[in-house]
Amino acid sequence: MTKAIRIHATGGPEVLAWESVPVGDPGPGEARVRHTAIGLNFIDTYHRTGAYKLQLPSGIGLEAAGVVEAVGAGVADLKQGDRVAYCGGPVGAYSEARVMPADRLVPLPEGIAERDAAAMMLKGLTVQYLFRQTKRLAAGDTILFHAAAGGVGLVACQWAKALGVTMIGTVGSDDKAAVARSLGCAHTIVYTREDFVERVRALTGGKGVAVVYDGVGKDTFPGSLDCLAPRGLWVLFGASSGAPPALDMGMLAARGSLYATRPTLFTYAAARADLLAMAREMFDLMLAGKLKAEVNQTFPLAEAAAAHRALEGRGTTGATLLLP
């Protein structure tokens, strides 16, 4: 038996229950991992509330790092004692130990701490595909990134700086603005009191930006579209304030032949070769000192509900870890 957070019904943080569960031995193609750190992500709150459907009862959580305890038949490239991390399903990362499909586990290079990997796998690989694949950003590009002091946001600040990209970041407070700027965000806008469309227009000499990365959704719509230069790209990758209304394609025409996409990490990292290549690029930046895991909050795993309250209450910056 092991301990895990499980949900039997959707709802507020109180539905997160700390329970004893059987962990079992890995079957063919699987590995059992003992977690040393678990990453908290906004998507976990969508699963908890039912905004994204899970078959209940269910485990929860999509990101963790730890040590392989045992491997099942046919697993050739992992062995007991290997340090690994993962991002993505099946859900169930909020546990002391679990069985995972071995092809989802990424071996950690020497020099990458498990806690840093647990903080970076989901958020960092998200920035990898947003900045390097959804659109391949180049030095000199100017972008707008919402919630720049959040988990994904603080990785984005650093990655933009490493690429020579000018990032304009929106944030909920002056304290968050200072954190984002200290990590490479060129300009910050406190969108809880400033009109971010006007500020972006002023900062870009009226031109607008090439790409808007929007993980906030409802509250930043349709302002995000108004920040784009003609033929710019709106990347809606999350909805921490709720889902925006269905997109009327005419809005893209009226604002200058815009593009829109609604990507997910799980599509970009579906093939193992892609997952490993994306992780390699991120680890290389970390080992070069250009990207640092910003773990600004930790909670005991058993107190995951408190972590959810902090994240949904806009009380966190950077990454939050749950520690078994």
Task: Dig out the tokens for 243 from the structure.
Answer: 């889902």
What's the min distance (Å) between Cβ of 166 and ligand NAP?
Answer: 19
Task: Dig out the tokens for 113 from the structure.
Answer: 């701490």
**278 interacts with ligand NAP by CB under 6 A:** no
21 vs 155 by CB, closer to ligand NAP: 155
**269 interacts with ligand NAP by CB under 6 A:** no
Nearest-angstrom CA–CA distance, 206 and 92: 47
Left (φ > 0), alpha (ψ -120 to 50) or beta: where does 142 sit? beta
Measured in degrees and rounded to the nearest 5, phi and psi for residue 126 equal -65, -45
Per DSSP, the residues of 22-74 read ------TTEEEEEEEEEE--HHHHHHHHTSS--PSSEE---EEEEEEEEE-TT
Task: Dig out the tokens for 238 from the structure.
Answer: 């999350």
Residue of the chain from 86, 221, 237, 283 that contacts ligand NAP (CB under 6 A): 237
**209 interacts with ligand NAP by CB under 6 A:** no
Instruction: Tell me which amino acid residue 194 is.
Output: E
Report whether 100 contacts 31 (CB < 8 A): yes
What's the min distance (Å) between Cβ of 316 and ligand NAP?
Answer: 6
**188 interacts with ligand NAP by CB under 6 A:** no
Report whether 136 contacts 112 (CB < 8 A): no
Angle between helices 151-163 and 114-129 (to 10 degrees): 70
**169 interacts with ligand NAP by CB under 6 A:** no
Q: Among residue numbers 91 through 150, which ones bind ligand NAP (CB under 6 A)?
A: 122-123, 126, 147, 149-150
Residue of the chain from 188, 204, 240, 297 that contacts ligand NAP (CB under 6 A): 240
**156 interacts with ligand NAP by CB under 6 A:** no
| Residue span 27-56 as binding mask against ligand NAP, x where in contact by CB under 6 A, dash where not | --------------xxx-------------
**297 interacts with ligand NAP by CB under 6 A:** no
Residue of the chain from 134, 241, 296, 298 that contacts ligand NAP (CB under 6 A): 241
**304 interacts with ligand NAP by CB under 6 A:** no
Task: Dig out the tokens for 316 from the structure.
Answer: 């966190």
**264 interacts with ligand NAP by CB under 6 A:** yes
Residue of the chain from 32, 47, 48, 176 that contacts ligand NAP (CB under 6 A): 176
**285 interacts with ligand NAP by CB under 6 A:** no
257 vs 261 by CB, closer to ligand NAP: 261
**151 interacts with ligand NAP by CB under 6 A:** yes
Quick one: 19 exposed, middle or buried, by C-beta within 10 A (0-12, 13-18, 19+)?
Answer: middle
Q: Closest Cα to residue 72, out of 27, 104, 102, 106?
A: 27
Sequence-distant (≥ 6) Cβ neighbours of residue 88 within 8 angstroms: 62, 63, 104, 122, 265, 266, 269
What's the min distance (Å) between Cβ of 172 and ligand NAP?
Answer: 2
What's the min distance (Å) between Cβ of 190 and ligand NAP?
Answer: 9
Judged by the rule CB under 6 A, the positions of this chain that interact with ligand NAP are 41-43, 122-123, 126, 147, 149-153, 171-172, 176, 215-216, 219, 237-241, 263-265, 311-312, 314, 316
